[in-house]
Amino acid sequence: MPASTERGIYRDPPLRLINPQGRSPVLLVCEHASRYIPAELEQLGLDEAASREHIAWDIGALALAETLAERLDAPLLAAGYSRLLIDLNRPLTAPDSIPEHSEIYPIPGNRGLSEANRIERQRQLFEPFHRTLGELIDQRLADGLPLRLVGVHSFTPCYRGVQRPWEAGVLFGRAERYARRIIEGLRRDGGEIGANQPYDIDPAEDMTVPVHGDERGIDAVLIEIRNDGLRDPSGVAAWAERLYPWL
């Protein structure tokens, strides 16, 4: 794919900032909020069904994050484009920052991508998002306000043929005390709640928690909800009600 085909196609905003003046100490982040891919990229060669799957976005995560932002009166920073273009929760050095393959799906439009196209995606999508997140954190700290950083994600019930038993998981690095409070709170309602499951935090593979949280001494966690619990408004509302008291 020649570089010229990608220049100027990222016309929509790379992010949405919702309720920026929210008074909650929680700052919500939804890095995988959108499945949007510019029409010029022809869904990166994926068919319509694949482009709606978890590989392109975290199903239900934005709806949950928006409900939590309203419930908590919290600011929310949400991505405007699909993570298949560039993953906002991966360091630029991560092998799957711009994935050529995701789960069972090859991503034809990311194969053989030129350096110019990679740099364009970084400049147009990755850098504005992380610059905005850094500025939000800077302003909160400068104002002397309390701050907790919470990423909102979802995961698939089954991965590579293996069923996942967890209803939800809380991922953390240095903020174990905060994470344990959330985990124990969610466990009061029953169900399997994972601690650093179904994923864990790795500075080589994650951005939000290690870079914007742990490195700055800020309590930071990622909340992972199994996406079969976020497929309709009632499920989203139920999870928001379970989560908000512990955040």
Quote the pLDDT of residue 3: 37
pLDDT over 90 (residue 205) = yes
CA distances from 99 to 50, 55, 90 (A): 14, 10, 11
> 5 falls in which pLDDT band (50, 70, 90)?
very low
- Identify any residues that bridge with 30 across adjacent strands, giving them in sequence order: 78
Over residues 158-174, mean pLDDT: 91
> 6 falls in which pLDDT band (50, 70, 90)?
very low
Question: Considering the chain, what is the average pLDDT of its residues?
Answer: 94
Its pTM stands at 0.94
- Identify any residues that bridge with 193 across adjacent strands, giving them in sequence order: 168
| 85 secondary structure, DSSP code | T
Could you give the CA distance from residue 193 to residue 215 in angstroms, rounded to a whole number?
Answer: 26
Which pair of tokens denotes residue 80?
A: 């405007």
pLDDT over 90 (residue 57) = yes
Q: Domain spanning 3-246: which CATH class is it, in words?
A: alpha beta
> 160 falls in which pLDDT band (50, 70, 90)?
confident
